[in-house]
Amino acid sequence: MEAGSALKSFVEYTSEHHFPLENIPFGTFKNPETNETHCCTRIGDFVIDLAVLHDLGHFSGDHLKGENVFNHEFLNTFMAAGRPAWTEARVTIQNLFAEGSSFASDEDGKSKTMFAFDKVEMTLPVNIKDYTDFYSSKHHAYNVGCMIRGPDNALQPNYTYLPVGYHGRSSSIVLSGTDVRRPKGQVSADKKVPTWSDCKRLDFELEMGAYVGVGNELGKPIKISNSSDHIFGLSLLNDWSARDIQVWEYVPLGPFNAKNFASTVSPWIITLEALEPFKIAHQEQDPEPLPYLKEENPSTYNIDLHVGIQSESMDAPHEVCKSNFKHLYWNVNQQLTHHAVTGCNMSTGDFLGSGTISGPEKSERGCLLELSWAGKEKISLGNDEERVFLKDGDSVNMTGVCHGEGYTIGFGDCVGKVLPALDDKDYF
């Protein structure tokens, strides 16, 4: 499918809508008629129950005609079926919902499967078994390194040789719309003696996450040449960070409590096939990657990313950052390949965070730590309010879009609101 070939659906939507027939995202929701949780997709402003579509006999191809892989509360069973099944599902849905299809006049079938998005409850789409967060934006790593070590030593020697990452907590990954409690913990102004405190430097991190669809056996690495076959799709990710807690705890083993209290994901997973028209050449890597990380035609995706902050006194978010997925120094294929190079067994549902996605310009810095330069520069919210870090009541909204000719591929919203810290009596 070419970027300029806008498809026609019997479902009405504008060319700016995030979910045209070219997209076909995957998620899970509670069917309002049965209250059962099923796998779903979305076209325009309608959520489509794929489990019911399957029961009605619409998935009759070689890879989906047997077990109803959509009749589950998570996407994992469908994801584990592999790329042939993913492609078959995508093509089947596009044909069913195309303008002039026989399903367009099937009023009974449509009433059983199509539900207005604003009337349904979305659910966490994947049973995430493991979560690894990378540090793959060179601009972000350089900026943070300058704050800590100065520009001459901003990047550690290993940065341009491997995708740096750490293991996070899958248990605290939450769906867009879930409120996030301001954490408490140990902080230290002099980096010698800590005090007990609310987090005073609560931050967002603009990231994207990749979901592993098909894993590998323990002891058998994933080759860079077929790493994309293991990736089901991408979603938005806000990796909330308690910067003052992080500064005290991260030496010598990296982030811990500063990042384990919440990570917010968007409800929709966008497949690599939907993103194919927006594939672009990856930035040059110097030095050349080692052979196991070197791709024949290295590529990434041109995805515009936006972050807005909305205080309790505002009617809408004010944009504080505009970045792009292409700014990642290490792409998703390299992240996955490096993760599994030791023979680490990746599993269906594993989640890989990209790390904060920052670009070369100040407006493209993907977190408040960079935007405020560690709290030294205030950021306007477009009214009389300013921020250096998040305040209680602030909502953070992340969006991502790819612009085709005549259509848009979008990721929906990734939203979270900051709640005040608990009282000390809840801790001791």
Same domain, 178 and 76: no
The answer for residues whose C-beta is within 8 angstroms of residue 258's C-beta and 6 or more apart is 185, 241, 242, 243, 245, 246, 249, 250
In a domain, 74, yes or no: yes
Neighbours of 291 (CB within 10 A): 7
In a domain, 15, yes or no: no
**Secondary structure, 3-state, 173-233:** EEECCCCEECCEEEECCCCCCCEEEECCCEECEEEEEEEECCCCCCCCCCCHHHHHHHEEE
Q: What is the pTM of this model?
A: 0.97
In a domain, 179, yes or no: yes
The answer for residues whose C-beta is within 8 angstroms of residue 171's C-beta and 6 or more apart is none
Instruction: Give me the pLDDT at residue 220, please.
Output: 98
Same domain, 195 and 328: yes
Residue at which a domain ends, from 64, 99, 123 = 123
Number of domains in the chain: 2
Residue 111 identity: S
Same domain, 418 and 389: yes
Q: Which residue has the tokens 């259509």?
A: 407
Same domain, 303 and 225: yes
Same domain, 295 and 156: yes
Q: Which residues are annotated as part of the binding site? A: 133, 135, 149, 205, 207, 239, 246, 250, 259, 263, 356
Proportion of the chain above pLDDT 90, given as a percent: 99
Residue at which a domain ends, from 92, 123, 154 = 123
Distance (Å) of CA 10 to CA 49, 110, 113, 115: 17, 11, 15, 15
Same domain, 144 and 102: no
Residue of 427, 417, 426 whose CA lies nearest to 181? 417
Kindly report the CATH number assigned to the domain that includes residue 397.
3.90.850.10
In a domain, 1, yes or no: no
C-alpha angle 371/399/413, rounded to 5°?
A: 125
Extended strands (E) in 297-425: 299-301, 304-310, 318-324, 351-353, 379-380, 386-387, 395-403, 408-419
Residue at which a domain ends, from 123, 155, 178 = 123
In a domain, 8, yes or no: no
In a domain, 168, yes or no: yes
Q: Which residues are marked as active site?
A: 140
In a domain, 241, yes or no: yes
In a domain, 189, yes or no: yes
Same domain, 144 and 119: no
Paired residues of 30 in beta bridges? 37, 121
Q: In what order do the strands lie in the sheet with 318-324?
A: 180-181, 408-419, 395-403, 304-310, 318-324
Q: Which residue has the tokens 């993103």?
A: 275
CB 52 within 8 A of CB 71: no
Paired residues of 264 in beta bridges? 174, 238
Whats the size of the chain, residue-wise?
Answer: 428
Same domain, 287 and 392: yes
The mean predicted confidence, pLDDT, of the chain is: 97
Instruction: Give me the pLDDT at residue 2, please.
Output: 41
Residue 144 identity: V
Kindly report the CATH number assigned to the domain that includes residue 70.
2.30.30.230
Joined together, the tokens standing for residue 197 give 């405190």
- Whether pLDDT at 3 is above 60: no
Same domain, 95 and 158: no
Calculate mean pLDDT across residues 263-271: 98
Instruction: Give me the pLDDT at residue 6, please.
Output: 86
Paired residues of 402 in beta bridges? 409
Per-residue pLDDT band for 231 (boundaries 50, 70, 90) equals: very high
The answer for residues whose C-beta is within 8 angstroms of residue 362's C-beta and 6 or more apart is 371
Joined together, the tokens standing for residue 338 give 């490096």
Domain range spanning residue 119?
27-123
Same domain, 165 and 110: no
Q: Which residues are annotated as part of the binding site for substrate? A: 135, 149, 246, 250, 356
Residue 425 identity: K
Interval 106-126: pLDDT, tens = 999 999 999 999 999 999 999
Joined together, the tokens standing for residue 293 give 């990380």
Same domain, 60 and 77: yes
Interval 34-69: pLDDT, tens = 999 999 999 999 999 999 999 999 999 999 999 999
Proportion of the chain above pLDDT 70, given as a percent: 99
Same domain, 199 and 51: no
CB 221 within 8 A of CB 337: yes
Per-residue pLDDT band for 5 (boundaries 50, 70, 90) equals: low
The answer for residues whose C-beta is within 8 angstroms of residue 51's C-beta and 6 or more apart is 31, 36, 38, 39, 68, 70, 71, 72
C-alpha angle 59/60/66, rounded to 5°?
A: 90
Interval 125-142: pLDDT, tens = 999 999 999 999 999 999
Residue 237 CA to residue 205 CA, distance in Å, equals 8
Joined together, the tokens standing for residue 271 give 């497949």
Q: Which residues are annotated as part of the binding site for Mg(2+)? A: 239, 259, 263
